[in-house]
Amino acid sequence: MGKGMEMLGKRCYTYDMYNWSTDEKKLQETPEKYAIWRLEQLINFGLNGERIKAFELKKYWSKLQLDPARKKLLELLLHES
């Protein structure tokens, strides 16, 4: 099993995914698109020790494309804070 891989039952999970096919420098030229992309990456592929600021998540909430179940969980957590 490769580094960052874990077998649970019959499923294999990658928990240190990095996006290698996105030109981040070009994406940073459009700050809002970059912020949305970065939030989606952190939520979908792991925080890697980072924290997401609640105000930033709330700011882009309606524009984030997330798994519905994950979005529901985050919504519940946001309303608690």
pLDDT per residue of the chain (81 residues) written in tens, 0 to 9: 445 545 455 665 555 555 567 888 999 999 999 999 999 988 988 888 889 999 999 999 999 999 999 999 999 988 886
Q: Tokens representing 22?
A: 């996105």
Using a 10 angstrom Cβ sphere, with 0-12 exposed, 13-18 middle and 19 or more buried, the burial of residue 39 is: buried
